[in-house]
Structure 1
Amino acid sequence: MGITLQSDKLIVCAYHNVGYRCIEELLRQGADIALIFTHEDSPTEEIWFKSVRELADRHGIPYLTTDISLPENVDRVRAIAPAFLFSFYYRNMIKPAVLEIPKQGAFNLHGSYLPKYRGRVPVNWAVINGESETGATLHHMVEKPDAGAIVDQERVDIAFTDTAFDVFNKITDAAVAVMARAWPQLREGRAACIPMNLAEGAYFGGRKPADGKIDWQQSALRIYNLVRGVTHPYPGAFSHLDGRKVVIWSAWPVEGSGEPGRIVSHRPLLVGTGEGLLEVRSLQAEGGDEVTAADFMTIDEQFT
């Protein structure tokens, strides 16, 4: 029996809260999602976000957790012959053989105001680098990551007190707003297509837990930005004290001076940096529970 081709069908690659919420928005607008590609949850990752698989099950949408670019999956995509392909926080690179299939285009929702912060973990990088704003961008997918023409964007502010988790939640809302505007325009063939000037931004790679190690020679401000950029639900910024790894979950930069890494006060817990002091507010020694600085006991006076 032959396969009936449907020109109005979508295929969606999605994971995480952005994937979950953007699929919800497409369904709210009546989109016909034929197939979802998503991921198995990693046993080494803290799963604090909503499940795209559960959403697919609830709406009776078929899904696969194998890579969309595998030959058998490319054949599946060709058989469905979708009008559009969307990628919402899908973690695998989608090969050109897939991108060329949807007749009306393949689009990615990226968690930054492109062309700034192309690449991996853009929210964490924006906070770590002390940015005051970022955003969500829907753009055409091309072989080069996060480089295709822009369809729509939404800016979000980054408050000085925001953690990466706070900013991620703002970007999730912005992503939904972008999709709410863009989907009708894409469907009707009147969406914007603004070339991206890559010279106005840069590409950033992924981060590993080891990248959270604190360099006390840096300023208190830069260390503070690292702390809030990788605090819960991420692995955290860390140093060593009393021969143990200590994760600093919450901190604040203050004026003053002290030898980098040396504790200059216990109440409040102030540590010297390359410029200014870092007030440590909550922390967790390896093998222990997270505690406030007032409850933290140490016999050593030097973070390394």
Structure 2
Amino acid sequence: MRVVTFGFQTWGRRTLQALLDSRHEVVLSVTHPASESSYKAIWNDSVEDLARAHGIPVHLTERADTETIDLVKRAEPDVIVVNSWYTWMPAELYAMPPHGTLNLHDSLLPKFTGFSPVLWALISGAAETGLTVHRMDENLDTGDILIQKSLPIGPEDTGTELVLAGLDLIPAAVHEALDALENGTAVWRPQDMAERTYFHKRADIDSRVDWSWDATDLERFVRALSAPYPRAYSFYRGERVEILAARVSDFPVGGTPGRVVVLDGQASVVSGPHAFRGGNRALNITAVRTADGAEPPVAEFFARGGYLTDQP
């Protein structure tokens, strides 16, 4: 089949590579220009470079405008395949090919529609994440499902590890989806919109620790925000401090949320609802990084006690 791709960053590149490794012909690659914005600069392997290396025509654009639609029409695709495309696509475009448009989304739809689904899945305590290939329609991540691949979330998995594992699901999912379309064996499953969840784009404030959360939730939060993502942070004595690693304490520590106590050689931070009752586990911080890039011994750094706070 003749395929047009819309994709960006590492997700788009992995999808293009999967198509190059298939028997199908990629006739046009549409991608965004390189960006220095905080999240677009993460996982920024170039779709453009890969396409040009294989002699595939490339169209660079921020949005699917009139020129884009005309180029796709002249390419005469049997199907459009999309992964990591940041802007709206009109029905004139996604309904153009005989097989429509397939979108790849790194969650098990209808759960975790929207943005940064892998991070939000880990933060929320979900048992699994994965990859969905679905038909694009007029709404965000709501079209009928063709292929799903699941990925369990382990008790020590980081956000980075889960993203990398999810990227590895792309080739098989792409090949199965296109084979089903070509062979006429595709079975489409409508999404149950009553089960849909949506998560917004992440911003700097979304990496700030809320010490009213339970320590189990906070430990997942720290694991989710692993490099290269912006790390979990709080403020200690007026200085922004990144929390690089943590674990749940072995016994409850009560008091006021955010209070740091160095106990048995460990820095324990009081956390959770109704902390004054003394029934909550604390978050033991095991690695920090200061604003100047230093990573001091944790017990030494917090030796003066005090509080971790929302503001300097």
TM-score, structure 2 as length reference: 0.89
1:291/1:81 CA distance change after superposition, 3 Å:
farther
Residue 71 (structure 2) pairs with residue 76 (structure 1): yes
User: Conserved in 1, the CA contact under 8 Å of 2:215 and 2:271?
Assistant: yes
Q: Which amino acid in structure 2 is aligned with residue 30 of structure 1?
A: R
Matched ranges for 1:159-170 at <5 A: 159-170=154-165
AA at the equivalent of 1:102: P
The reply to whether residue 85 of structure 1 matches residue 66 of structure 2 is: no
Is there any run of 5+ residues in structure 2 with no aligned partner, and where? 273-279
Alpha-carbon distance in structure 2 between the residues aligned to 1:152 and 1:11: 19
1:56 shift after superposition: 1.0
Alignment RMSD (CA, Å) = 1.8
* Shift in CA distance, 198/72, structure 1 to aligned 2, threshold 3 Å: same
- Where does residue 25 of structure 1 map in the other structure? 18
Number of aligned pairs? 297
SS at match of 2:5: strand
- 1:126-165 alignment, distance < 5 Å: 126-165=121-160
Counterpart of 2:275?
A: none
Matches within 5 A, 1:2-21: 8-21=1-14
1:290 Cα shift?
3.8
Correspondence 1:212-251 to 2 at 5 A:
212-251=207-246
Q: Following TM superposition, by how much is the alpha carbon of 1:263 offset from its aligned partner in structure 2, in angstroms? A: 1.1
What's the counterpart of residue 293 of structure 2?
288
Which SS does the other structure have where 2:62 is aligned? coil
In the superposition, the TM-score normalised over structure 1's length comes to 0.92
State percent identity of aligned pairs: 31
Displacement of 1:72: 1.3
Alignment partner of 2:192 out of 194, 197, 209:
197
Residue of 255, 258, 263 corresponding to 2:260: 263
| Structure 1 residue 116: Cα displacement | 0.8
The one-letter amino acid paired with 2:308 is F
Contact 2:10-2:43 within 8 A present in 1 as well: no
Residue by residue over 1:144-179, the C-alpha shift from the partner in whole angstroms, topping out at 9 and shown as x without a partner, is 011111111011010111111111111111222211
SS in 2 for 1:199: helix
User: Match of 1:302?
Assistant: 307
- Confirm or deny: 8 A CA contact 1:241 1:300 kept in the other structure: no
Cα distance in 2 for residues equivalent to 1:48 and 1:14: 13
**Residue ranges of structure 1 left out of the alignment (5+ in a row):** 1-7
Q: Tell whether 2:271 aligns with 1:273.
A: yes
